[in-house]
Amino acid sequence: MTRQSETATDGGTDERTPDEMSLDELREEIQTIDREIVELIAQRTYVADTIAQVKAEQDLPTTDEKQEQQVMDRAGENAEQFDVDANLVKAIFRLLIELNKVEQRDSR
């Protein structure tokens, strides 16, 4: 898998593959990806908080096992699509789900 990155000099894209990049450039790429992951987690948390509000208004339970299973199934499918260890991805999603459930319970 290759990823385009911004060059420091001209603001354009760098078409090199990761094996053509220096260690510092690769670490910068990891920093960018990490920031994007955190941003996506924040977005997901915001939406989950909104779901918690809707559940509270509709007097629905915090836990929806069917929905959780659908999330886990999608996580596994996405992992396979991107050739990432499905068990690892599912573990991450299990943690995200549990964190959202704790926040939903605390907000009630």
Lowest mean pLDDT among 5-9, 30-34, 51-55, 70-74: 5-9
pLDDT score at 90: 98
pLDDT score at 5: 44
Q: What pTM, to 2 d.p., does this model score? A: 0.74
Q: What Å distances lie between residue 55 and 20, 63, 84, CA to CA?
A: 50, 10, 33
Give the model's confidence band at 7: pLDDT under 50 very low, under 70 low, under 90 confident, else very high.
very low
Give the model's confidence band at 9: pLDDT under 50 very low, under 70 low, under 90 confident, else very high.
very low
**Per-residue tokens: 52:** 């918690």
Fold observed for domain 24-107: Chorismate Mutase Domain, subunit A (1.20.59)
CA angle, residues 19, 86, 78, in degrees to nearest 5: 80
CA distance 14 to 30: 15
Using the predicted structure, report yes or no on whether residue 11 has a pLDDT greater than 90. no
Q: What is the pLDDT of residues 55-103, one digit of tens each?
A: 889 999 988 999 999 999 999 999 999 999 999 999 999 999 998 888 7
